[in-house]
Structure 1
């Protein structure tokens, strides 16, 4: 059976929310120069990354639930995932690669999806040339695990669960660290540093959400469903506004808030349907381009203001200019690279894979 291709409005809306949270988290300093509360309101905007990770886990279940082609399914899945993230990430990084060998080395190293510096605090392990790329390292590892697991056909989700849970929990138990799994740096090198980090559990949580939402009926009435969604949204807002006791990427607050929001929304959509705000849907469609382009928008805006304007409310003007540039860059980047170029590369590679399978 073919994979699911219809886009769920709840997932698209959550993508849009995640992108907005990350953007505002990085833009908050400039806005706070005019609106001081921005530092507090968007201080935990990094939760958008946790939301993205769980969405990725959900989508993997959603698009592979009917896949049973073994090695062929594995090859096609990995090809599609690579074509989805690699070309845009490479191009976005090249834009800021720099003019020295040291800077280009950092840029080229980023394309391996390896941690930039394993001596730095987890879960980031240093930042690549395009700093948001640290999260794509985890995405690459997760997709690699999923691709391998598809070889095992009906046991694919068991294999994914086994690999991730054992990779994260075994070193945690043997080393006897505290509770904050994502903050532990075992000193492991390469992909081992990523696969043993607690952030990987968020992908697994998204996978579990997909299984529950698609296979179980959680609500026995619309009222119950709406109440559950409302409570999850309130809890997510509570954590995002810094009222939690354990914030941070991968930590309990970010994990639980993202989990319940995705679970309640997707389950409701599967049972009763949903009409998400068009703005969130639009941002969700552009979310990957927004994620890659907003550092460029912020950097250019700050440089322009620093060189040409030193008057009142310069921070606010830089913020508004950064938002404008982010929207413009994202629209262009999405059209040229995320869709046209990625689809071209993907179609050629998939055609090649299918041709080889027939030989």
Structure 2
């Protein structure tokens, strides 16, 4: 299969999505640690919606020319496993070891053997903290990613034709099955989330992009401006607290328009994309997985300062976000790239990743 050319607008969006999530969690982290300021950036969670749409987009593009053979499907799965699993397992193991080494400083949700096993196997479960999340808290999104890769691989194995219809059918079946189960299955209910539709939206976007059928730039720009305005209003924030269907209708639709808008202007981004943003796009996975760990490290150092709680909250928030971004970028450069090279057996880096 041919190596895909780099799409700079996607790289910029990946970096921006990672930063949105970092700021969102940083605000929550400071509040949880009783640090003044009262900053709230729940809208930053939209970074996840952007990631899901980008994932659907890239997976469709990366499987073009797939002939539906077992060899190609296994190669597809191998690439996804190499991309996702090694670093995720490494950070999961680090958190488990840290929780036993310093239980007093570990997360309030204790790590159990069952939780650890289900985490590394990407099996959704309700943690001891009562949340549907694995040892690495934000890893719940990876459960969706892995399911999407599994479903997409099966669809390709059956027939690469009409991929969009087949993938949508898989998710529709899960929605119907979850409705029939009436909440009796935690796993089924998890995968029946409407957020899975964002992967399908990414596939739709890829088909439009490759066929040069995206809406005109002016219309997309208007949609982005209007959507950004609405997101800053109360209804936009309520999508964070309301049902997942509400989130899809508000954040999902805006994310779709945003990604489409940047793709439509790819010719502009290809020559003007800031290098720092394209690098952060490459490092986005490491930043996303490690930023909460970075928060804990930062806090341990800050807490030792006698004037810690007298520091300006805004300065602490900015420093916390910068440290987490630098930590994740360093992890990408020195660890993730090496792991990918070792497990892929390749000396070349894939230009387009998610």
Q: Bin the TM-score by the shorter chain.
A: 0.7 to 0.9
Secondary structure in 1 aligned to 2:210?
helix
Q: Distance in 2 between matches of 1:188 and 1:76?
A: 32
Q: Which residue, 308, 324, 342 being the options, matches 1:344? A: 342
TM-score by length of 1: 0.80
Q: Distance in 1 between matches of 2:184 and 2:20?
A: 31
1:180 is matched with which residue?
A: none
Q: Does 1:200 align with 2:196?
A: yes
Cα offset, 1:120, TM superposition: 9.0
Q: Distance in 2 between matches of 1:117 and 1:311?
A: 34
Per-residue CA deviation, residues 260-286 of structure 1 (Å, 9 max, x unaligned), is: 111232234279966333332222111
Secondary structure in 2 aligned to 1:44?
helix
Contact (CA 8 Å) 1:3, 1:64: kept in 2 or not? no
2:52 is matched with which residue?
A: 53
Cα offset, 1:82, TM superposition: 0.7
Per mean C-alpha deviation after superposition, the further-off stretch among 262-271 and 63-72 is 262-271
Contact (CA 8 Å) 1:34, 1:313: kept in 2 or not? no
2:351 is matched with which residue?
A: none
Q: Distance in 1 between matches of 2:162 and 2:267?
A: 23
Q: What does 1:3-82 align with in structure 2 at a 5 Å threshold?
A: 3-29=2-28, 30=30, 38-39=39-40, 42-82=41-81
Contact (CA 8 Å) 1:118, 1:189: kept in 2 or not? no
Secondary structure in 1 aligned to 2:304?
helix
Per-residue CA deviation, residues 40-69 of structure 1 (Å, 9 max, x unaligned), is: xx2211111111111110011110122114
2:229 is matched with which residue?
A: 238
What is the aligned residue count? 325
Residues 338/228 of structure 1: CA separation in 2 closer, same or farther (3 Å cut): farther
Per mean C-alpha deviation after superposition, the further-off stretch among 247-256 and 268-277 is 268-277
Q: Distance in 1 between matches of 2:335 and 2:67?
A: 31
Per-residue CA deviation, residues 162-218 of structure 1 (Å, 9 max, x unaligned), is: 11122224544x58xxxxxxxxx823143x233322111111111111111111333
Q: Distance in 2 between matches of 1:262 and 1:320?
A: 26
Contact (CA 8 Å) 1:84, 1:342: kept in 2 or not? yes
Q: Distance in 1 between matches of 2:158 and 2:185?
A: 28
Q: Does 1:253 align with 2:250?
A: yes
Residues 88/161 of structure 1: CA separation in 2 closer, same or farther (3 Å cut): same
1:152 is matched with which residue?
A: 158
Contact (CA 8 Å) 2:224, 2:258: kept in 1 or not? yes
Contact (CA 8 Å) 2:82, 2:344: kept in 1 or not? yes
Q: Which is bigger in relative contact order (C-alpha 8 A, separation at least 6)? A: 2
2:333 is matched with which residue?
A: 335
Residues 195/118 of structure 1: CA separation in 2 closer, same or farther (3 Å cut): farther
Per-residue CA deviation, residues 311-354 of structure 1 (Å, 9 max, x unaligned), is: 42264454344234313321221123321112220227xxxxxx
Contact (CA 8 Å) 2:14, 2:284: kept in 1 or not? yes
Q: Distance in 1 between matches of 2:183 and 2:267?
A: 41
Q: Distance in 1 between matches of 2:72 and 2:220?
A: 34
Q: Distance in 1 between matches of 2:136 and 2:177?
A: 32
Q: Distance in 2 between matches of 1:150 and 1:3?
A: 17
Q: What does 1:294-333 align with in structure 2 at a 5 Å threshold?
A: 294-309=291-306, 310-313=308-311, 315-316=313-314, 318-333=316-331
Q: Distance in 1 between matches of 2:205 and 2:335?
A: 30
Root-mean-square deviation over aligned CA pairs: 3.0
Q: Distance in 2 between matches of 1:317 and 1:330?
A: 20
Q: Distance in 1 between matches of 2:250 and 2:137?
A: 24
